[in-house]
Amino acid sequence: MTVLEFDGTTNANVPELLSPPAFPVLGHLPAIRRDPLHYVANLVAEYGDVIPLKLGPHRVLMVNHPDHIKHVLQDNFRNYRKSDFYEAVRPLLGDGIIMSDGEEWLSQRRTMVPAFQGVHLTRIGKAMTDAIADMLDRWQGDQLSGRPFDITAEMMKVTLDALVRSLFGRRSGTQKEAFFDAITVVLQRSEKRVWALANLPLSIPTPSNVKFVAALRELEAIVWSMIEQRRENPAAGEDLLSMLMAAYDLGGSEADLNMLRDQVMSMLLAGHETTANALNWTWYLLSKNPGIERRVREEVRGALGDRTPEFADLPKLSYTKMVFEEAMRLYPPVWTMSRAALEPDRLGDHEVEPGTTVMLCPYAVQRNPRYWPNPEGFDPERFTPEAKKARPRYAYFPFAGGARVCLGQHFATMEAQLLIAMVMQRCQLDLVPGQTIEPQPMITLRPKDKVMMVASPADGQHQIAA
């Protein structure tokens, strides 16, 4: 056990911060790279609420108490910017809303917020259900033949299609497969860059860099095709793409065009990758817990019968929402996040020096038995209104929180409720036996391998009604 002191001083009135054993120079980097999820979860159990870590040259405080998390994300959020670890994804996201800070971030958020509010929600819900219906129609002729299929790939494709229809006013078409393949390459290599001691510039043509740049160019081509199509048909609707183009495209400068690209790319990544992964884990958990799956099916049948759900039906699907929330507790799509302190601060009894990276880990905190009895168990009842009130707010933060809470939080939850309901109406999903499903902590928390499932008609039907 090692005691790390950032400033070389001691204070008898302040408890020492204990840290796990570390390597010279590399610090805790080899251990966290070897098995990130188990490592961070075990740290919470062994070392408590505030844990100093050394990740190569970076001083890091891993913060695990809900009050401290609230302080960083909400109470004193202006003192914290995105940490240097996010630079690994800047080639993908540029200066868009995910990467920006301060007044620039606030301006970008104000531009985008109206697209997720008011009258747009009914239109968004309809676009989502159209995309889901198309997926289910395709399943009727393919997956329902009894052949196993990868639910991860299916969720990636349908959430991309729903996002593109909802916010960008078009169908993703054959681009779904190209986008899925390219984003997988970019995320895998970005994750390696996050935990690397040093990274070679992308201009150096190593095999890894060449593959990364090629995948990035594929994504950019998709983004620019969407923008060009809207330029040709500007009356397509008052959706997010229209708002972004009004804000950035009309200037015509290179900076404006680059910002337009960055914002569309940010929304494509944040709006489909994370939701797809959360849905993937939801289907996995429901297949492993048939009693809960039956209760969801009963709620859907009672609330909807055979008709397609719409935005107004969401309050009737409360248990379905609880299931999705519990899946995100166990497998938060963004499993870790970090901020860098701008000025001195305090977290409880502990000083935070300027430049210190504060690491917040939903995966570890949301499995902490201090706040979650039987933390490894799948129990949607944790998300009844009464249960939520009984625990600290920031014991659960899959969408971050405070002023920078995820812009698409309600978008993702609405999409999940609609998708789960429509799949339940029309089919039964079961895991293919014999698989070992393990999470892979990239930038998002994906399954390490394919998750193979078999679809069959719901309630023993011989076919699914279109």
Q: Tell me: the pLDDT tens digits for 237-285?
A: 678 888 888 888 766 788 888 898 999 888 888 888 899 999 999 999 9
Question: Residue 264 belongs to a domain with what CATH number?
Answer: 1.10.630.10
In a domain, 247, yes or no: yes
Q: Does the residue 465 lie in any domain?
A: no
Q: Which two tokens stand for residue 374?
A: 């039987």
Beta-strand (E) ranges in 74-156?
Answer: 80-82, 149-150
CB 285 within 8 A of CB 330: yes
| pLDDT attached to residue 144 | 63
Q: Which residues constitute the domain of residue 361?
A: 2-460
Q: Could you tell me if residue 358 is inside a domain?
A: yes
Please name the residues in contact with 356: beta carbons below 8 A apart, sequence gap of 6 or more: 6, 59, 60, 61, 340, 341
The whole-number pLDDT of residue 142 equals 62
d(CA 24, CA 21) in angstroms, rounded, equals: 10
Distances (CA, A) of 315 to 279, 299, 304, 418: 19, 11, 12, 11
Phi then psi dihedrals of residue 392, to 5 deg: -60, 140
Q: What are 374-422's pLDDT values in tens digits? A: 999 999 999 999 999 999 999 999 999 999 999 889 999 999 999 999 9
Name which of 200, 117, 213, 61 is nearest 411 in CA terms.
Answer: 117
Give alpha helix (H) positions in 289-337. Answer: 290-304, 318-330
CA distances to 115, 246, 342, 400 from 122, rounded to whole Å, are 11, 23, 41, 25
Q: Low-confidence residues of the chain, pLDDT below 70?
A: 1-15, 142-145, 172-176, 197, 235-237, 250-251, 460-466
Task: Spell out the residues 6+ positions from residue 54 whose beta carbon is closer than 8 angstroms to its own.
Answer: 4, 19, 22, 27, 28, 29, 60
Is position 446 within any domain? yes
Q: What is the mean pLDDT of the chain?
A: 88
Q: Is 439 helix (H, G, I), strand (E, B) or coil?
A: strand
Give the CB-side neighbour count of residue 367, counting CA atoms within 13 A.
22
In this structure, how many other beta carbons lie within 10 angstroms of the beta carbon of residue 206? 11
Strands 357-360 and 58-63, how do they pair? parallel
The residues with which 2 forms a beta bridge, in sequence order, are: 19
- List the structure tokens of 326: 């519990």
* Whole-number Å distance between alpha carbons of 141 and 159: 20
> Which pLDDT belongs to residue 312?
94
Looking at residue 466, its pLDDT comes to 33
Tally of structural domains, the chain: 1
In a domain, 146, yes or no: yes
Q: Is residue 466 part of a domain?
A: no
Burial of 383 (0-12, 13-18, 19+ CB in 10 A): buried
Tens of pLDDT along 154-190? 999 999 899 988 888 777 666 667 777 888 888 778 8
Phi, psi (degrees; rounded to nearest 5) at 81? -110, 170
- Whether 444 is covered by a domain: the verdict is yes
